[in-house]
Amino acid sequence: MRVTAPAKINLHLRVGPPTADGFHPLSSWMVTVGLFDNLEFTLTDTPGVRLTCDDPALPTDASNLVVKTATGLLDAANLSATTGVHIHLTKRIPSGAGLGGGSSDGAFTLLALNKLLDLQWSPDRLASFASRYGSDLAFFCHGPSSVCTGRGEIVPPLAPPKPKYAVLLLPPIHMPTPAVYKRFDQLLSPNQDSALRTQDYSAWPTLAAQNLLPKLINALEPPAFSLSAPLKEIHSHATKILDGRIVRMSGSGSTLFTLYDTRDEAETNAARLRLTLGVNVQTVELAPTGAK
């Protein structure tokens, strides 16, 4: 079985102060984007999970979310002693870029094995199980456009945004999520918690790009930019190149993005950024219906 696992961007991200257990509550509008990893699943006679990957820098041991989720599902289904699976991952989504590639791979591993092994787990059961392994996994079990709250495990759907395209800036900068959250705590604003409680997204999907962009924020931008001067500089330059157009960061970085209503407009401005900044810039579809 072959599946494609999409990346995501956080169109909007509010983060609250950490609770007693150390986790940060959040409110985020997340959408999938047309950038995909590929996963191929083969059942084997040798019990256990074996992962291979075309990227030699990516760990393929038990620390990888694909191995964690596959092993956990086999254990939960009482199949670990009798069932083996070889998974090959073709990696296209950059790691450490705020695009949720690892989480998507883990979630789509669960979705694929549920079908391949005919477990007949419901989407809600899969999403609940997936949330054990990280805050973004439940979203990928639902998608393609959802508001994620709590730790990310509460995932009510929201209509996809009216703008159909995003321009992604993918600088070769790895932003460790724990470090960004640690700096967030150091810079914490006292109004973060109230912002979570009052956020209303209901009308946002109807807005064209020029009206939607001013509403979007990412509470992790200030800590990320304070940790990485190069990322802050790329953000500043991109904003100037696009004549002041709003550019946002996805997740804890380092991917930056802006939105457009048409592909032509997106690709024209992506070319401007690519020529001037010298970084990887891609035009992607928002909430795509399939792999490209």
Which CA distances in Å does 226 have to 97, 186, 188, 229, 230?
Answer: 16, 11, 13, 7, 10
Domain shared by 8 and 131, yes or no: yes
pLDDT tens, position by position, 84-93: 999 999 999 9
Which CA distances in Å does 240 have to 214, 234, 237, 263?
Answer: 16, 10, 5, 21
pTM of the predicted protein model: 0.93
pLDDT in the model for residue 292: 45
Backbone dihedral angles phi then psi of residue 282, each to the nearest 5 degrees:
-130, 140
Q: How many angstroms separate the first and last alpha carbons of the chain?
A: 18
Please give the Cα distance from 13 to 191 (Å, whole number). 14
- Scanning the chain, the segments in alpha helix (DSSP H) are 65-76, 101-116, 123-130, 137-142, 177-186, 192-198, 209-212, 221-227, 229-241, 263-277
Domain shared by 13 and 144, yes or no: yes
Higher pLDDT, 245 or 151: 245
What mean pLDDT comes out for the span 93-109?
A: 95
Q: Which of 127, 150, 173 is the last residue of a domain?
A: 150
Q: Is residue 199 over pLDDT 80?
A: no
Is 1:7 a contact under the CB 8 Å cutoff?
Answer: no
Nearest CA among 216, 158, 215 for reference residue 31:
158
Residue 276 maps to a domain: yes
Angle of helix 123-130 relative to helix 65-76, nearest 10 degrees, comes to 120
Domain shared by 133 and 49, yes or no: yes
CATH of the domain at 58: 3.30.230.10
Is 96:176 a contact under the CB 8 Å cutoff?
Answer: yes
pLDDT tens, position by position, 1-33: 999 999 999 999 999 888 888 888 899 999 999
Active centre residues (catalytic): 8, 136
Q: How many CB atoms lie within 10 A of CB 135?
A: 19
- Domain interval for residue 250: 165-285
Residue 159 maps to a domain: no
pLDDT in the model for residue 200: 87
